[in-house]
Amino acid sequence: MDADSGIAILLEEMDGRWIAHVLGLPGCFAHGATADQAVENIPAALERHRAWRLSIAQPFSIPRGGVVVEEKIRAWESEPGYEVNAFFAADRPPLTAEDIRRYERLLAAARRDLLEAVEGLSPEELTRPVEGERWSMEGVLGHVARSELWYLDRLGLAPPWDELPCEALRSLQWAREILLHRLPALQACDEVRCVSGEVWSARKVLRRALWHARDHTGHLLKMRQRVQSARLSGGAADGEP
């Protein structure tokens, strides 16, 4: 990324919130209830991302200048219950060998962080319901595993779903092995598919997989705080006595 070119971002609406992706920095993003709020949160997101990249020996220079919105796309329903998410112009170019190597490193670091977010927790803590959350912490891990296979399925590269292990940590390992095994097939793949009204490409699959892992790592860390606070206080994370 050119440090003098400004901060180019891609804005998308997803699940009732806005996400601002920093173009050229996979896994760097900010959330907001509105598009403007997501843009306002970009500087803090860049600092967090720089600290993360330093921790995995992949430093970068934060670009100078203002934020430039390259694209802004709202979600829409192609059928009841199916939300179509953004396909950006930047998702279209085929992945290069260097892209694949970069995503391998970033995905490995993101998976390490995801597992560290639940490290040392007991089975009871992993499965304990948390008030206001759709899943337990174990449920979030299983969701990440299923999502990685679902992304590959958009390109016709996923194995049969019934092969996915039921246990969350095993399913994470299995899904990641499948994703890494499929990476060579994604290189130079210029196929663009439309599935259920949503457009997919190899680059979008990896963008979404990395974003999803990073997003849920933050989610799990917040859940962990609540679960451990409940343990220390002798209460329950779901607010029950």
Over the stretch 199-226, which tens digit does the pLDDT of each residue have? Answer: 999 999 999 999 999 999 999 999 999 9
Residues of the chain short of pLDDT 50, as ranges, are 1-3, 239-241
Query: Three-state secondary structure along the chain?
Result: CCCCCCEEEEEEEECCEEEEEECCCCCCEEEECCHHHHHHCHHHHHHHHHHHHHHCCCCCCCCCCCEEEEEEECCEEEECCEEECCCCHHHCCCECHHHHHHHHHHHHHHHHHHHHCCCCCCHHHHHCCCCCCCCCHHHHHHHHHHHHHHHHHCCCCCCCHHHCCCCHHHHHHHHHHHHHHHHHHHECCCCCEEECCEEECHHHHHHHHHHHHHHHHHHHHHHHHHHHHHHHHCCCCCCCC
> What pLDDT score was predicted for residue 59?
85
For the chain, what are the domain ranges? 1-86, 91-241
The CATH code belonging to domain 1-86 is 3.30.160
CATH class as words, domain 91-241: mainly alpha
* pTM, two decimal places: 0.92
> What pLDDT score was predicted for residue 4?
54
> What pLDDT score was predicted for residue 189?
87
> What pLDDT score was predicted for residue 238?
54
> What pLDDT score was predicted for residue 65?
84
Over the stretch 122-136, which tens digit does the pLDDT of each residue have? Answer: 999 999 999 999 999
